[in-house]
Structure 1
């Protein structure tokens, strides 16, 4: 619903995670508290939002937000977004991802240097 790819979430969660593990997690009915806290931290969403999630209510919100007129090819469609703002948001997300990747690279280099120096 947030438009976050499984690979991106796995990257945010750290080395023990991958796309397949996220996919299997999505299929579970019950998620352990410690894992839920990790995901909550990574997504910056309170744990309570997951615990109190109501799929039907979320679908209603999406339906009411976009409605039947928000269809591709419908000349009467109304789109309520600012493309410049969306582009800026995507650019900022890309920069944040790049910075996280650089930080992880630096951490890996430091670990490698420690191993080499042993």
Structure 2
């Protein structure tokens, strides 16, 4: 039994990336200098001209390779591994709590002392200029 891989639908990938970027077809069309209808046609096409793909990728802030290799499964995996929902269905971002290895209060005091020292030096210079 031979399995063939289904070719990537480049237009659909463009559409999904554009939607993830919260960009409307009109905005993408304006960015690359075509009409909204042209973007619609491109998004319904399985293949896209390499030059046009490069322009679209640039407008979307990705590379052409990202568009070619875009996978919704990968995006869902990233979302599932990044977010967790509590019992109320509210998404909670899974992040590690940042624990600095220094006392922030000590840093504030240190900065205040440096600022105070700089002001003292400035006053001494002003007094010298005044004389």
TM-score normalized by structure 2?
A: 0.47
Does 1 or 2 have the higher relative contact order (CA < 8 Å, sep 6+)? Answer: 2
Deviations, residues 59-98 of structure 1 (Å, cap 9, x unaligned): 322344445x38xxx8451355xxxxxxxxxxxxxxxxxx
Q: 1:8 aligns with which of 14, 27, 30?
A: 27
The structure with more strand, counted as a fraction of residues: 2
Residues 7, 65 of structure 1: CA spacing in aligned structure 2 closer, same or farther, 3 A cutoff? farther
RMSD: 2.3
Aligned residues: 74
The structure with more helix, counted as a fraction of residues: 1
TM-score normalized by structure 1?
A: 0.51
Correspondence for 1:114:
none
Correspondence for 1:31:
48
Structure 1 unaligned regions, length at least 5: 81-118
Higher-Rg member (1/2): 2
